[in-house]
Structure 1
């Protein structure tokens, strides 16, 4: 199943923008537009430019009549940094046989030129799919690649790799090839799917908050085997301790709403929600002991008291294990 694409049709207005967080859907719609335009108007009907093009050059391109083809599509990957006046001149100068398509998932909407362009152009937003549609798309993609996928396996993949369709597309292709005609299972996902950086953090935080030290340590070992840097894992754990202290301090003030806590102490909402399951039971002495030990250990790492290099990370790995055990057994 492909994201529904409206595609190019004759008689459309001159300027269009594709934007939004769903980069997979943007890529598919971009591809669909190019295919439709080439099919209707031939190989000489397409020009692809970068965001670095200056206003004068784009004006020359857009204001010129198509030479061989009846119509011409000028696709600009990224939003050029034009002034408000340049956008106004461009909009009034586009030749009737030319269509401009700007593709930028996250344009800087603070810029006057971008604001003006988005007001004058036809803007198509591509948001992430809601869960029900995302699960249906995942099942359909697995089926198209010779396999099947249950909702349980699909949800496990989302938990592990995140909800970005671009990442999920790559993972489902890989899992389908591995399954080779059978159904993709949760075990397949756990064995083969690569966690996104954000999902790695949330999963490790969840294991620690659930007081599952053995699983947390094994998960860290898996990250290391996939090439993660030990210092990166150490910094994730320190960040988790910082968040734990912040959430605990809010609980002491009788605040248990994760949204309020996230806003007041600058803790990501998922982390605040997860930590609220474990921090209320901690004593002030336990919090002080954990925070003090982390600070001392980090200083010792930075001053060389603990040896930790790429070739000999043993002492750092021991500190990681100890910190996980300390947080899980507090």
Structure 2
């Protein structure tokens, strides 16, 4: 059996993968290979190996080889390369590796192998991209296995996903609460699933998650709302920033926590500006700083509104405000109002 799991929704693909593992009789006969690192011959030998003390063997190929320089997405593999990959030998009798194949050669050789695979083997190929309808692996899966395509939901489909995910956690979620999660977290499904699990545990089985509970309990939503505050400040829209600040305070957000989060965000802006000046993009910045991709993208948009000196001055001002609040020298609301009025000055 061959499963092709492809599409940009990596979270759902991996959940489907877990289901396949749970439903099979694999025991200790499970192997995982990185398609970009392991030669095709090794993968095929493993697939041909009969399982030990169980009915089935499970083999996962995580990704495909990277395309070589100059190789087009639709490049056809040469007959010689395909033969070398399938048999493990070239015409000269030397061992062949997938590293010597183009990506197209790897794909074609694997697709041609699928019909000959032992019935005891369950092979899964996991890809974070959607394949075209004419792709040989898609055709092989349609004829000899199963195609599972997962696409990231957007808009109304994302809110529907949140509602359905809440049902699996044995709770309901109010429309406004689902909208809050969708707007502030976006289609980062793994993060959404974690937040829903936390909210469901708090609400209890059979209960309905309210918008108020999302505002109070979801750290991601709170952080995103504070990002809206810094967004307003970056646009020099102090009126909007003050409105957001007072909304957060009326929702019970502790002033010291607000200061701490804003300080952390300004520090992130300083680091993002430095990395952006070195030519890094959002994905690289996200990995380097260990922050969520959507936060890196937002920060990149914000840093263009400030020079380094302004950010450094604001950071020092935040630290001073934090110290003054802890010593009770200023009323919390007044301290935060003054901070916003002078932000970036």
TM-score interval, smaller chain: 0.5 to 0.7
Aligned residues: 254
Cα distance, 1:327 vs. partner? 6.9
Q: 1:297 aligns with which of 288, 298, 310?
A: 310
The answer to whether structure 1 residue 191 and structure 2 residue 191 are counterparts is no
Moved more, 64-73 or 180-189: 64-73
CA RMSD of aligned residues (A): 4.9
Q: Distance in 1 between matches of 2:137 and 2:158?
A: 28
Matched, 1:30 2:9: no
Q: What is residue 331 of structure 2 aligned with on the other side?
A: none
Please name the residue that 2:69 is paired with.
none
**How big is the shift at 1:191?**
0.8
State whether structure 2 residue 229 is matched by structure 1 residue 213. no
Match of 1:105 among 124, 128, 152: 128
Q: 1:230 aligns with which of 263, 269, 275?
A: 263
Structure 2 alignment gaps of length 5 or more: 67-97, 142-146, 274-296, 325-334
1:18 partner SS? strand
Distance 1:155 1:63, change over 3 A: same
Is structure 2 residue 32 aligned with structure 1 residue 49?
A: yes
Aligned pairs for 1:1-330 (under 5 A) are: 14=2, 16-36=3-23, 38=24, 42-43=25-26, 46-51=29-34, 52-65=37-50, 72-80=57-65, 82=98, 83-84=101-102, 85-94=105-114, 95-97=116-118, 98-105=121-128, 122=141, 124-180=148-204, 181-195=206-220, 199=224, 203-204=228-229, 207-208=232-233, 211-216=239-244, 225=257, 228=261, 230=263, 232-234=265-267, 236=269, 294-298=307-311, 313-314=319-320, 324-325=340-341
Counterpart secondary structure, 1:48: strand
Q: TM-score of the superposition, structure 1-length normalised? A: 0.56
Note closer, same or farther for the CA distance 1:202–1:102 as it changes in structure 2 (3 Å cut).
farther
Q: What's the CA shift for 1:44?
A: 5.2
